[in-house]
Amino acid sequence: MDNIVLLVVLPLLAAFLMPVVARSSEVVARTLGLSVLFISIGIILNVWSQSGQIDSQAVSIVIGGFLPPLGINFYVDQISLFFALAVPVMVLLFWPWHRATSIREYSLMMLLTASASGLILSGDLFNIYVFYELLGIASYSLVAIQGRVSAVAASFRYLLMGSVGSVMMLLGIAIIYTQTGTLNLAHLSLLAPEKLNNMLGLASFALILTGMGVKAELFPVNSWVPEVYGSVSSNLAALMAGLLSKLAVIVIVRLLILLFPQPEALQLMGMLGILGVLTGELVAWRSRDFVRMLSFSSIGQLGLIFLAFSIPGEMGMMAGIAIALHHMLVKPALFMLATGWRGAVENLSGVARRSPFVVLLFIVLILSLLGIPPLPGFWAKYLLMVGLSSQDGFIYTLGMIIVPLAMVIEMAYLFKIVMIMYRKDNDEPAVNNSNIVDDSNIVDDSNIKVVQKHSKWGLAIAASVAAMLIAIVLQLQPASDKLLSLANQLSDRNYYISTVFPQIHTVRMQSIK
């Protein structure tokens, strides 16, 4: 169980060693990174199989031998373990295999892995900030070295926005620390009803929400999204849209549950979610570029997730997790399909005749994204609507109107693409047969008119995602049971506190308080 800390430490070790090893042998250095990812997956699977207890019981892992709240702990429950597994798996899937770049890019990928795992596992507010910052800097660098000039510009804007965000988050954490004098999440949660249930608490939540929201594509701080996803490779875009945004969301939700009991915090998040849905879908509808469309649709989906999590009670929690997991599967697959379809939507006319199988995959994926029964996306949205209808309050009523509206807009632009794909065209666009885009040259995105071929790897990922969606439909009952237990564990404050501070300790804490 203590091995869990290796999920963060081993990738860091690999990242530090890779440039050194690469001086003597580049092959060994690359193998080092990959083998660390495999070891990480092995560790998690081992924990999962060895102790079936994780299903019922969470564990707090002490680092450095100092009991919380003095020391730092990692908190391992079902959802953090699940995301900790998703990190190495998805990094492995979207590893920059065939790009001939410096070994430092692989090193940055390892740092990204380590920080993502740390972010989801950490049980300490400041430790979360450190990993969030590391995640940010690793992703700015990865975006900037994508080889296009537009990527450097996009990365710079992303850097500005991200830095302002992390300063705001740090300010929020500082306020919490001045109010409570502690940083451990469980200890804070113990003190929160008394010390953070006021305007200052709300203000610090707003600061942390906007800070973390930069990665989670939250409404006012998401203008980097289309630019960055449009200028990086599909692999990195898939990783960022699929995994990193969800990690930020889950951490925000965890902080919300543990530290901020006030209903205004939920309403604030719900409102920003609704604005995100509206702006994301409307701009996606108007955009002419396929990748940009996907990026804006991603903003819309993240807005839905925030709206779902803002519903109090287990229904909202279930809906939020369901939409998050669903988007985590579908969006990377769509980005993998987008490898071959970069550029304006009009260029896609007639692709259905040339590659019918790929277009079929695309249709399955977008049907699920839209929420057409019986695909999993429908059940996720169904949960959201049921959750919304069970609440009264302005935000939730507004949500009841906005969500179907967003679905209609989404349907309009996604089906428009399908129509274009099935259109007969007379002039065939030139097909570029090389799989590898020459990234070292400065490529102007708007000038790419050629339709490139899909990589086999990307198609395999997209196909397996589609297969998984259908498998979930067949296994709906077990899936929803699992979802319910995830939601229950995530929303249980007292359970979190008692896991980190076993009984005797709790008594002592209260006496100190």
Partner 1 sequence: MRNIAGLLFAGGLAFLLLVLASYLPYGQTPMFLGDAILAHAPGEVHTANIVAAVLLAYRGIDTLGELSILFTAAAGVGLILGHRSLRSDSAGVNGAVNSEQHSGFITTRAVDLIMPLLMVVGFYIIFYGHVTPGGGFQGGVILATAFFLPVLVRPGTRIEHGVITLLEGLAGSGFILVGLWAMFYDQPFLQPIFDSFLGTGPLGSLWSAGSLPLLYLAVGLKVGSELAGLLVTVSEVPELSETNISDADDINRK
By CB under 8 A, the residues from 269 to 288 that bind partner 1 are 279, 283
Site for partner 1 in 92-121 (CB under 8 A): 102, 104-105, 107-108, 111, 114-115, 118
Q: Which two tokens stand for residue 228?
A: 């960055």
- Least separation in angstroms between residue 133's CB and partner 1 is 6
Tokens 């990307």 belong to which residue?
458
Complex with partner 1: residue 118 or 387, whichever CB lies closer: 118
Judged by CB, which is closer to partner 1: 133, or 425? Answer: 133
- Spatial neighbors of 459 by CB under 8 A, at least 6 apart, are 336, 337, 358, 361
Least distance (Å) between residue 9 CB and partner 1: 6
Pairwise CA distance, residues 255 & 202, whole Å: 12
When asked if residue 251 is in the footprint of partner 1 (CB under 8 A), the reply is no
Range 8-37, binding partner 1 (CB under 8 A): 8-9, 12-13, 15-20, 23
Q: In the range 419-478, which residues lie near partner 1 by CB under 8 A?
A: 440, 442
Proportion of the chain in helix, strand, coil states, percent, rounded to 5: 75, 5, 20
The DSSP bridge partners found for residue 124 are 184
Q: How far is the CB of 402 from partner 1 (least distance, A)?
A: 16
Whichever of 7 and 364 has its CB closer to partner 1, that residue is 7
72 lines the binding site for partner 1 (CB under 8 A): yes
Query: Residue 76 belongs to what H/E stretch?
Result: strand 72-76
144 is a site residue for partner 1 (CB under 8 A): yes
Q: Are 232 and 145 spatial neighbours (Cβ–Cβ below 8 Å)?
A: no
CA-closest candidate to residue 380, choices 483, 282, 276, 491: 483
Closer CB to partner 1, 141 or 464, in the complex:
141
The site for partner 1, by CB under 8 A, has a size of: 76
Nearer Cβ to partner 1 (314/445): 445
* CA atoms of 499 and 63, how far apart (whole Å): 15
- Which residue is listed with tokens 């609440």? 391
| Structure-token pair, residue 177 | 């620390």
Q: Residue 165 has which token pair?
A: 């965000």
140 binds partner 1 per the rule CB under 8 A:
yes
x/- letters, 321..360, toward partner 1 (CB under 8 A): ----------------------------------------
- Least distance between partner 1 and beta carbon 105 (Å): 7
Distances (CA, A) of 171 to 204, 264, 281: 8, 20, 32
Structure tokens given for 144: 């900037």
Maximum pairwise Cα distance, the chain: 80
Binding mask 42-71 for partner 1 (x = CB under 8 A): -------------------xxxxxx--xxx
When binding is defined by CB under 8 A, the residue of 82, 83, 95, 219 that contacts partner 1 is: 219
Strand partners, 122: 74
